[in-house]
Structure 1
C-alpha cells in the first residue's frame, strides 16, 4: 500500500502545529471560499477526497448533510479525523444516531474506484488534487461516483504555483520587496519534486487550460471558478503578502452532465 508523507516520524505533529494557527491560509482563504461554493447540503450525501483531519466533513454535517464520507491515505490524519468527528457529533439532537452520519476510509484518491459507497450528491477536495499524477483517471472515477447533476467542488494549488521548478520564485526590488512572480516553467507540465519539513514528496503541474479541458472531457460542466487574492480584505494583506501579487489556490465548481 502507498504511504503518506504525513505518517512519517514527527511530520504529522509539525503539521498539526501549523494548522493550530487560526491565522492561516486554510482558515482565512481556503475554507471560506470552499464553503461559498457549496450548494444547500440539507439531506445530501457527500464525499471528501483527501479529507485530512475531518474539518470539512464536520462543516458539512453542521450544514445538515445527511451522510459524509472521507478518504485519506494518511492513517494519522484519519485517526485525528475520527476523534474530531466523535467530538463534533454529540452536538446533534440525536447523539445515538450521530455515529452513523460519517464513514472514514484509508484510501488514496487514485484508488477511488475501490470505495464501495456511490451515488454522492457532492464530492469535494481541498488543497489535494496537485498530488494526483493521473488527473484524467481521477475525474473519470469521480464522475462514476456522482449522481446525475451531482457537483464536484475542489481547491488545489494554483497552476501559477505548481509551475515552479527551481531558481528564484520572486523578482524583488532593491528593498527586497516582492514585485513579480516568475512563471518560466508554466508551460512545462508534469512532476515536481518538493520538500516540506525536510521531507521530500511529489506534486504535479498542469496548466489551467489542461485542468479545464480534462473536466470538460470527463463530462463536467464548469459552473464557477475562484482565485482569491484578498483584494477586498486589506486587513489580511500584510499577513499574506504573496496574495497581493498572485493567487495561491484555484477553486472550481463543476456539475456532472447527466
Structure 2
C-alpha cells in the first residue's frame, strides 16, 4: 500500500490543476456527467468519496441533499485544496456549515475501515481504483463502512486501457490513422508502470471478469455498468477521437447485499 501520493510531488499538483481547468477535459465531459447520472438519491444520506481530490464531487453531493460527506485522499495538497473549496461552498450556503457537513481524512483508500465514522449509505470513487493493488481487500474494507443495502459507485480506467504493457498501443493504416487498439497483454494482470507529467507511478490491470467476480464474491450485487464511448457534439468528437475505438473508463454501481 502506498504511503505517499504522486500528486504531492514538486510541481505535479499544479500541472494537474491546469489540466482539470480545461472545460473539455475527460473528467468534465465524460467522467463527471456519467458518475452523476448513476448516483442514487442522496437526500439525507451519508456519503464517502474515495480519492476525493479537491472535493468537487463532495460539493455536488451536498448540493444534491446529502446530510454529510466525507473524503479520503492520499495527497495532502488535494485535501488542503478540498478544505478551502468546501469551506467556501458552506459559507455561501450556511445550512451546510451548521450541520458540520463534511470531513476530510489523509488516508489510503485501503484504510477506509479505520475511519472513526458511522457507516455510510453511499460510497463513491472517481477514476481511482486502478491505483489499488489488492481490489478484493479494498472491497472488504469498503463493505465494513457501508450499511447493508448501501451503494458503491466507482469509475476507473477501463481494463482495455490498463491492459497496455509495452510496444505500440495502436494499429494504424497507411495514412497513420488509428484503426485498432491492441490488447495483446489483456490477460496478463498485475502492475503497470506509468509516467505522467514526467513522474513515474504504478497502476494495476485487472480483467473485467476479475473486477466483476471480486464484487460478487465481496457481497455486492451489480446494478448498472457504463462504458461511455463518444460524446455527441462534433467539437467533442474531435477532442476525444480515441473514444470511437475503445472505452476509456468503466463505471459500476453495486449494492451491498
Residue 97 of structure 2 corresponds to residue 114 of structure 1 = no
Normalized against structure 2, the TM-score is what? 0.97
Deviation at 1:90, TM superposition (A): 2.2
- C-alpha distance 105-172 of structure 1, shift in aligned 2 (>3 A): same
Alignment correspondent of 1:181: 181
Aligned to 2:23: 22
Cα-to-partner distance string for 1:213-249 (whole Å, 9 max, x where unaligned): 0000000000000000126454411110110110000
Residues 1:192 and 2:192 are matched in the alignment = yes
Q: Which residue of 2 aligns with 1:53?
A: 54
The count of residues paired between Structure 1 and Structure 2 equals: 256
Partners of 2:167 and 2:97 in 1: how far apart? 56
Unaligned 5+ segments in structure 2 are none
Distance in 1, matches of 2:96 and 2:61, equals 17
Contact 1:153/1:253 (<8 A) preserved? yes
Structure 2 equivalent of residue 145 of structure 1: 145
- CA 1:96–1:209 in 2, change beyond 3 Å: closer, same or farther? closer
Q: Which residue of 1 aligns with 2:133?
A: 133
Query: Cα–Cα, structure 1 residues 54 and 176, in superposed 2: closer, same or farther, change >3 Å?
Result: same
Structure 1 residue runs of 5 or longer lacking an equivalent are: none
Please tell me whether residue 154 in structure 1 is matched to residue 154 in structure 2.
yes
Question: Cα RMSD over matched residues?
Answer: 1.3
Equivalent-residue separation in structure 2 for 1:236 and 1:247 (angstroms): 15
Structure 1 moving runs of 4+ over 3 Å: 231-235
8 Å contact from structure 2 (residues 69, 101) kept in 1: yes
The match for 2:44 is 43
Q: 1:92 to 1:115 in 2, by over 3 A?
A: same
Worse-matched range after superposition: 86-95 or 28-37 = 86-95
Deviation at residue 52 of structure 1 after TM alignment: 0.5
Tell me if the contact between 2:120 and 2:146 (Cα under 8 Å) persists in the aligned partners: yes
Residue 210 of structure 1: how far off its partner (Å): 0.3
State how far apart, in whole Å, the 2-side matches of 1:206 and 1:142 are: 19
Q: Corresponding residue for 2:91? A: 90
